[in-house]
Amino acid sequence: MKNARKYLVVISSFFIMLCLGGFYGFSIFVPPLRQEYGFSAGQTQVILSLIILSFTVSFVIAGKLLVKLGPRISCIISAVLFSSGYILASISQGRLGLLVAGIGLLAGTATGFGYVSCLTTPVQWFPKKRGTITGIAVAGFGAGAILLSFLVSSLFDRGYSVLFVFRALAVAYGSIIFLCSLVLVPPYKVQNNGVRLVGMGQVLKDKKFWLLFWLMFFGTFSGILVIGNLAPIGLFYGADNFYAVLAISMLSIGNFSGRIFWGRMTDTIGTKRAIFAAQLSLAVSVGLLILLGGNNAGLVILSFLVGAGFGSNFVLFAAEVCNTYSIQNLGRIYPFVHLSYGISGIMGPLAGGYFFDIGGTYLYSLAIASIFAFLGSVSAIIFSRFFSKC
């Protein structure tokens, strides 16, 4: 029974992440929102920006509450907030304020509460395979955009309105999150044994924490810069429009599969070597876009590799937090490391567009992204003494 439960926890976490990660495919809603309600491109992006902001902030808050509430209650809160947010959006009649409040604030906050539970609980059941299990759980988050885009496109093709789709997501995704949350409990020994919780004041004085923070910033900055500008990059270098669009899908597939692959690698070669290898592969892949971005096949392959390198950040640094501060402290400490992604998520896409506006080429943007990832790989080796021995 215990063996069945632990696998059920992993599967449930994957499906919750699959639902919550759909916001990466938010662009599927942009055309109908602009056509039906006259939104500008900038107004639609306000919703997405608030989702990311709410997710990042609520991730930290949920991490602090996790020990008190437990993963099941945290995910039930996530389900309620998610459904409430999309129901509010479905009755908004296209009013931007209600869309922002519903999807941006409520659904974004739901993401933080669900993510922390699904990240921490499965690895408690598999402490000796923490990288692999973390990779599987967060792979669902990476695949969310693929599933959402497919489902929503199908509904749009059948003539359903964007507000109807919001209501359908509230019911379907909210129900999945709620039902899967019912099996999310930590192992008995974790529930009942004394847990040594590390104070954040102590952590913030620790050089190892800041090393992880900045390494994650380097890797996510590089990846998100490309993600935010991928199609224009391909078109600028001369790739066909079909392959520029296909590259976006391949990057999402790479993001999904890379999380599983690098999770497995951290269990095999250790997090220090895995972080070095992942950041180096990201640096090389981004750099090669300068040379091969106009080649259709090259663009597609490199987009997959960039996605895999980007996705590795969300596995490797969670695994290293486990190694350094213990599994029991993962939900409290990793959200603070994850804040570096919030910073890069703002700076990366803006930097890519800004340097193009200045120079009229994506050469400088891609060079900077490649250099940042390379700095991350080199730093992982230079400061390897700060890593755990796991």
Please report where in the chains the tokens 């000796």 appear, as a residue: 128
Q: Is the dihedral of CA 355, 358, 361, 363 positive or negative?
A: negative
pLDDT in tens, the chain (390 residues): 567 888 999 999 999 999 998 887 777 787 888 888 887 766 776 787 788 888 988 998 998 898 889 999 999 999 999 999 999 999 999 898 999 999 999 999 999 999 999 989 998 888 888 788 888 888 888 888 888 888 988 898 899 999 999 999 999 999 999 999 999 988 865 554 555 666 777 888 888 899 999 999 999 998 888 877 787 888 888 888 888 878 888 888 998 899 999 988 988 888 888 999 999 999 999 999 999 888 899 999 999 999 999 999 999 998 888 888 888 888 888 889 988 888 887 787 777 777 888 888 889 889 999 999 999 898 888 877 666 654
Q: Which two tokens stand for residue 174?
A: 């909210």
**CA-wise closest residue to 266 among 307, 218, 318:** 318
Task: Quote the pLDDT of residue 90.
Answer: 94
Task: Quote the pLDDT of residue 192.
Answer: 46
Alpha helices in the chain (DSSP H): 2-20, 30-37, 41-69, 71-90, 96-99, 108-125, 130-157, 162-181, 188-192, 200-203, 207-236, 241-269, 271-292, 296-325, 330-359, 363-382
Task: Quote the pLDDT of residue 189.
Answer: 59
Task: Quote the pLDDT of residue 389.
Answer: 56
* DSSP three-state, residue 387: coil
Provide DSSP, 81-114.
HHHHHHHHHHTSTT-HHHHIIIIIIIIHHHHHHH
**Domains of the chain, earliest start first:** 2-192 (1.20.1250.20), 200-385 (1.20.1250.20)
How many angstroms separate the Cα of 4 from the Cα of each of 9, 120, 134, 376?
Answer: 9, 18, 18, 39
Q: Which two tokens stand for residue 4?
A: 């069945």
Is-contact 118 16, C-beta < 8 A? yes
Burial (CB < 10 A; 0-12, 13-18, 19+), residue 196, is exposed
Residue 389 neighbours by CB under 8 Å, 6+ apart = none
Q: Which two tokens stand for residue 1?
A: 């029974």
* DSSP three-state, residue 199: coil
How many angstroms separate the Cα of 273 from the Cα of each of 98, 269, 279, 316, 386?
Answer: 46, 6, 10, 10, 13
Provide DSSP, 243-272.
HHHHHHHHHHHHHHHHHHHHHHHHHHH-HH
| Residue 204 per-residue DSSP state | T
Q: Which two tokens stand for residue 146?
A: 């693929």
Task: Quote the pLDDT of residue 228.
Answer: 73
**CA-wise closest residue to 279 among 377, 387, 379:** 377
Task: Quote the pLDDT of residue 13.
Answer: 94
CA–CA distance, 234 with 292 (Å, rounded to integer):
9
From the CB of residue 271, how many other CB atoms can be counted at a distance below 10 Å?
Answer: 30
